[in-house]
Copies of this chain bind each other. A is one copy, B any other.
Amino acid sequence: MEKLKETGLKLTPQRIAILRYLDGNTGHPSAEDIYKAVSKKFPTMSFATVYNTLETLRQRGTLLELTIDPGRKRFDPNTEPHHHLICLRCKRIVDIHNAYALKVPDEMRGDIEITGNHIEFYGICQKCRSSKD
């Protein structure tokens, strides 16, 4: 509850429900996942509210927008530096909490000032491997 106040957001019941759903969530949900989950408690919840809230959180830096899944955005409430491993078939994403030293030679970065990085590892999970193609 103190956590919620710390956000500094105007706390509407919808936002609280979204924040609760995201807190500690390592499933990297899509907007639809969030909408579905929160709609159970708020049948009047709209996609607009979900997207508004996610965008607000992203701007505050308390939510990451992942571009790892083609066709839809995925969201990650864990803002600690970490990386991701995605199953190319089922799109399941797991966190990789491991530090890597990634230096980019100056002559490669051109005129772009580098502020961060993110590694996506990809592969096929057990379940997808054993099921037929």
* Nearest neighbor of A118 in chain B, beta-carbon distance: B120
| Residue contact B73 to A65, C-beta cutoff 8 Å | no
* Contact size range, A: 35 or more
**Interchain nearest-CB distance for A55 vs B (Å):** 12
What residues make up the interface of A, taking CB atoms closer than 8 Å to B? 65, 67-70, 73, 85, 87-88, 92, 94, 96-98, 100, 102, 104-105, 108-127, 129
**Interchain nearest-CB distance for A21 vs B (Å):** 21
The interface residues of chain B lying within 8 Å CB-to-CB of A68 are 67
Closest 4 CB pairs of A and B: A111-B126, A114-B123, A112-B125, A115-B123
- What separation, in Å, do the CA atoms of A129 and B120 have in the docked complex? 27
